[in-house]
Structure 1
Amino acid sequence: MRGNWVVLAFCSLGQLYADQSLKPQIAASQLATNNPSLTTVALEKPFCMFDSSLSPNKSYTIYLYAMMESAIAISSLVTDNRSKPLNSTFQQTNGGQLGPYRAALFNVPNCASPPNLADVGDINKVSDVLKQYLFRVGDDGTRLYDPNFLGVCNPPLAPDSMYRFKYMLVDNADSIMKDQTLWSDPIKTRRVKLPTKIDTWPGRRSGSMIVITSILSAFVFLLLSGFLACVSSAVKGLEDSSEATRHMSQTIQQSEPRLQVSSE
């Protein structure tokens, strides 16, 4: 069933990206579970989106930019006045709060020869296939704190925050922007749940379920109380019977010597 969803989703990518005005799209839930998460967002790569802008015998790279929704009022530009891509980093933009930062670089997806979708049904290959179709923003939590790393950093996103994303096609020969998408619609990461608000019940209970449970609990309590009362009464009766038997036995033993003395 999962394989069918993947096939349908990817077969539609070429048609969806035929319109150059399209934006980066969040990955379908059938392809990426828990998306968005607290600190990541999985996006569909731009398959077939820039085909009309590609020239033969030239090489290109896809730049992925990210920024917080609130940064649009400050700046949403990703090139300078010479169409050169900005190299703003996560640290320089305060995690995207001051403007766009370059989150990733990757090769232009091959629309004519995509990965073999039949491999999606193979548990050993499905991860590699999805990595070729999807990109997870915020998936690198180590390089941000590595002073020796000078490349593009893709640090975790902030929880409960709105982000926008943009793809850019860059000519490797002169590092000039060849084409770009619009900014994506706002995508919000998940909110952290407070420990006091986490539901620890095995399953959620409705109001009627709570009432029924309360009534059954009271009924069980009455049954147990009645049972204990019956047991206590029975035990007391046995004790009284044993005491009467013991008293009668002592009376008989005391009267036997008197009878023997009288007969003498």
Structure 2
Amino acid sequence: MIILAATPIGNLRDASRRLIEVLENAEIVAAEDTRTTQSLMRALNIENRPRMIALHDHNEKHKAAELAELASEHDIVMVSDAGMPAVSDPGYGLVVAAVERGVTVTAIPGPSAVLMALAISGMPTDRFTFEGFLPRKPAERRSTLTALASEPRTMVFFEAPGRLASSLADMGTAFGADRRIAVCRELTKLYEEVRRGTASELVEWAEQGVKGEIVVVVSGAGPVEVSIEAAVAQVQALVASGIRLKDACAEVSAATGLSSRDLYQQALAAR
């Protein structure tokens, strides 16, 4: 089988007993960086020296099938440099290849920068979307953020320290300067820090220079103010596409803040 094993994102004491046990008994380990994984095992006092196979962004496309085939006869532990493999890290291609071949895939849960940042951000946690790293090129980044301007769910991004200030400035332009944002830095590490504020406030701080691993959590867009007539038209369009009237009213209500009951009654009256 394939075992996706989450590793510490900073603090070594976050390594689970299950992770240590699996690494102590592993015969084959696929690692994003074999040197990083060997250092981790030494730091955790693991004496086992399994066969190490590098699996990273540059070779996963052609290596995944080979490893999936190997996993049909052997257990393979997959680790990235930090956190859960396959989540903005190598591993997704391996999982796809394993599933295609009927190889069992499981995971050892553990530290997650995405979930930790979300939990401590102070933003709504009931619905969220993980957007990974924003594009490096300014034009592409602005286009991506513009497309997310009306996203109602809390959004979680990764960002490089050197691009943080420009990304926050672009968020202010796309989302509005007053959109609530939390920048989480060096999670679980000695200099862990969370800065909360508006886009405009955080740009000024980020321009002074920020170091470390960065996770940015952004509050979702608020309900859009529309007339009851326009909202009923949205409901009718959803119904025409095959959605039940009750569900269409609930969806439009969530997006606009208008009463689902009022939308339902108005839509019935308009038939």
Normalising by structure 1, report the TM-score.
Answer: 0.21
Using CA pairs under 8 Å that are at least 6 residues apart, name the structure with larger relative contact order, 1 or 2.
1
Task: Say which structure is richer in helix.
Answer: 2
Higher Rg: 1
